[in-house]
Amino acid sequence: MKTVPEISAIHDLPFPELLYRASTVHRENWDPSDIQFCTLDSIKTGACPEDCAYCPQSARYDTGLKVEPLKEVGRVLEGARAAKEAGSTRYCMGAAWREVREGAQFDAVLEMVRGVSNMGMEVCVTLGMVNEKQAIQLKDAGCKVYNHNLDSSREFYEKIITTRTYDDRLNTIQNVRSAGMEVCSGGILGMGESRDDRMHFLHELTKLEPAPESVPINQLVSVEGTPMEHAEPLPPLDFVRMIATARILFPKSRIRLSAGRTSMSDELQALAFCAGANSLFTGEKLLTTPNPGECHDHQLVETLGMRIETVPA
Ligand code: SAM
Ligand code: DTB
Ligand code: SF4
């Protein structure tokens, strides 16, 4: 495992050297022309009891968000069908919950998982904390991946969330692993964290064994009403440095260019693909905030002469 100074040294390489190394690792492990399209569906929106300072779905902040109860199973399956037709191979369902509680709502989520899995799509869910028993139920229903981000360094995390701990996060990831699901875990950049925090964040991710199969790298979407509404975005080239470093540290994982793409130029996204990003969220919306949309992403992939991955890897 690499130390923080070693990770830092990779991150700070001369830019062309960093890109060359990341791109070499990328093509040794993946077809660099392929890009995975994933679709997000917010199956339960807003009114979350947690106080994550970046999140428009926390009940603590007035963001003008329309709160919506758990979606009906049929509507979720309709969304999954449409996403499949638009080229997505992974459907990721997110709920603004602190944790999963057993009962009718969880049973409905299990039904959604079964339904989407039967369509031949990879199913991913992100439902907050889960215990081992719940993780096994999800796995048995056909859930392939669980998304639970470390989000930042341990030190910075404590400044932005008070309602749960970093170790709570690690526990859930452990439960997901024990149940035999894949782990999707990454973080958010541009929350006002230091460069050091970003190095420690990557280091924490490398401590997960085995490595997470996907690493989503989100650029903060600063939402009015949240404590981070005025956060300074990360300089674009520093964002690319993080993608490239993640690619080098996680050669066999998917590196997902996640939230924040509406404020990125096509050129920046192309650079991120050259640095090893090989997955994105497509559709008009992420969970609650805007996303470039299918039309734009199909065009981007075409312009770059790349290919949308057609079968789940
Ligand atoms: N409630 C669950 C949880 O926190 O794990 C699942 C849903 S939560 C919205 C999933 C992830 O979305 C968070 O871990 C965070 O990385 C990301 N996220 C939330 N708000 C964001 C924002 N404003 N910009 C970028 N990413 C954000
Ligand atoms: C992840 O890392 N990013 C996605 C997904 N996992 C669940 C969520 C991004 C949410 C951005 C803010 C919003 O749309 O509410
Ligand atoms: Fe709730 Fe997840 Fe948003 Fe935190 S990130 S407030 S847990 S929905």
Q: Is the CB of 182 under 6 A from ligand 1?
A: no
Give the predicted TM-score (pTM) of the model: 0.93
Residue 10 and residue 17: Cα distance in Å, rounded? 9
Regions of the chain with pLDDT less than 50: none
Using CA positions, which residue lies closest to atom 21 of ligand 1? Answer: 55
Residue 29 and residue 266: Cα distance in Å, rounded? 24
**Residue 312: its pLDDT value, please?**
52
**Residue 294: its pLDDT value, please?**
80
- Express each pLDDT in 5-34 by its tens digit: 999 999 999 999 999 999 999 999 999 999
Q: Are 135 and 179 in contact (CB under 8 A)?
A: yes
In this structure, the chain runs to a length of: 313
Of the candidates 48, 129, 119, the residue with the CA atom closest to the CA atom of residue 80: 119
**Residue 311: its pLDDT value, please?**
65
Pocket test for ligand 3, best of 40, 55, 101 (most atoms within 8 A of CB): 55
Taking the CA of residue 147 as reference, the ligand 1 atom at the shortest distance is: 5
Q: Are 215 and 189 in contact (CB under 8 A)?
A: no
> 187 alpha carbon to ligand 1 midpoint, in Å?
9
Of the candidates 231, 233, 243, 247, the residue with the CA atom closest to the CA atom of residue 269: 243
In the residue annotation, 143 being an active-site residue is answered as no
Measuring CA to CA, how many Å separate 17 from each of 1, 21, 45, 252? Answer: 22, 6, 43, 20
How many beta carbons lie within 10 A of that of residue 89, not counting itself? 20
Domains of the chain in sequence order: 4-306 (3.20.20.70)
